Structure 1
Amino acid sequence: MKRISLTVIIFLVAISLIGSTDWKLNDVNVNVIEQANDVVDEINTKLIRFHVIANSDSNEDQNLKLKVRDKVLEYISPKLKDSQNIEQSRKIIKENDDKIRIIAEDIIKKNGYNYEVKTTLGFENFPVKMYGNITLPQGNYEAYRIIIGGGKGQNWWCVMFPPLCFVDIAKGQIAYKETEKEMKKVLSDKEFEEIDNINNSEQTQNIKEAVKQNGAEIKLKFKTKELIERFFQ
């Protein structure tokens, strides 16, 4: 009985300490966190990403992925570069889906492989990713994906709308001014500021810090749940 009582006391002290830490984190400005989340949600709905996923991480499969990328972009670039909105880009991608798959299959066969090719256009969850001078937050993005073979390898990706894939694929990077120009056609100044790596304002840094702290708070709450489960087990 004494052992049980001691366990209960230790448990309650632990919960108290976690609750105290939690309270401090709750001092983070809730409005700032909500503002950041709203910006992220808006960005997700205004872009179409392009991903080419390799069969594996072997050098051969990764090189094949880049060859497929180059030929597909060579074909689709003239059709997408003057697109005026996301609906038009989506329509162009759908109309050319069969042709893109044929191009990918042809490149694969010419290089001595017999991998199948799958293409999809839909929403996928992606982690935080840097692209040139911008960083896209984690979230569900609309993406056109070319999956080669088993699709177990690393992927190459870019932003298909607005058409940033076609600025400088040879170097694998895009000029900042071109990025800003294209992104601001579809994003507000505030939304672009949130993903801009070069001219982030103090306010943007505060938002990121607030989200970071809020994440720590969430982890503490999960830890509390874990402690409770262990106690009753």
Structure 2
Amino acid sequence: MKTFFKKNLLLRAAACGFVLTVLLSFTGFSAQCDALEKNVIRLHVLANSDSDADQAVKLKVRDAVLLEAGRWYGDADDFETALAAVCTHLESLEAAANAVLRAEGVPYSAQAEVCEMYFPTRTYDTGSLPAGKYRTLRVTLGAAEGKNWWCVVFPALCVPGASDAGDLPAGTEPIVTDAERFEVKFKAAEIFNSLLAFFDA
């Protein structure tokens, strides 16, 4: 009987140790994800509809907005400077989007805003970003009922040739550039943040 209780106690101690190790590991990972959320500006372009024409227009608007945004935050060395530049020049970003719509002859307009949005885990050509709430430059086109397009405005990870992970917050580079190693934690973070987003709604 004593042997049974001793084994049971050892198993419980081992289980507690394992859970504690996982929690400590996830706590560190969560802190890194939080650093990304507070230092990254996402871009969200929502098309008027899912028609081929509207989806093509969406991509042209994306290119115009990225180009215009780069004019204002291109020299920014930190998140706050980049965010201030985007907010200050929001009208010019919206104007760039509307210029594309006029050139394409579509009967709707664009609206640009800076807001906080929840994003699921997202993989780009340059790496992955974990789920979470990010400051976002959001551009809606017309009825905004079509498929959307996501990317990263700052650091400029969605601009070809501007994907240097050295621009990311210190200690977060492996999370973005080595996504496979963090796949399970990405999923855990996504589930956790989805629950937070649900209760915040």
Do the two structures share a fold, i.e. TM-score over 0.5? yes
The alignment partner of 1:150 has SS state of coil
Unaligned residue ranges in structure 2 (runs of 5+): 1-14, 193-201
RMSD: 2.9
Contact 1:133 / 1:197 at 8 angstroms: preserved in 2? Answer: no
Cα 1:105–1:134 change in 2 (3 A) is same
User: What is the aligned-residue identity percentage?
Assistant: 26
The answer on 1:113 being equivalent to 2:95 is no
Q: Distance in 1 between matches of 2:185 and 2:58?
A: 38
The alignment partner of 2:172 has SS state of helix
Residue correspondence of structure 1 range 58-207 to structure 2 within 5 A: 58-166=51-159, 168=160, 178-179=162-163, 181=164, 183-188=165-170, 190-197=171-178, 205=181
Q: Distance in 2 between matches of 1:34 and 1:186?
A: 20
| Cα displacement string for residues 112-135 of structure 1 (whole angstroms, at most 9, x for unaligned residues) | 212132211021001111111311
Q: Distance in 2 between matches of 1:87 and 1:214?
A: 25
The alignment partner of 2:137 has SS state of strand
Q: Distance in 2 between matches of 1:71 and 1:211?
A: 31
Cα 1:211–1:86 change in 2 (3 A) is closer
Contact 2:48 / 2:142 at 8 angstroms: preserved in 1? Answer: yes
Which residue number in structure 1 is paired with residue 27 of structure 2? 34
Which residue number in structure 1 is paired with residue 38 of structure 2? 45
The count of residues paired between Structure 1 and Structure 2 equals 177
Q: Distance in 2 between matches of 1:119 and 1:213?
A: 32
Aligned residue identity for 2:173: F
- TM-score w.r.t. the length of structure 1 is 0.66
Contact 2:46 / 2:141 at 8 angstroms: preserved in 1? Answer: yes
- TM-score w.r.t. the length of structure 2 is 0.75
Deviation (angstroms), 1:105:
1.7
Deviation (angstroms), 1:55:
1.1
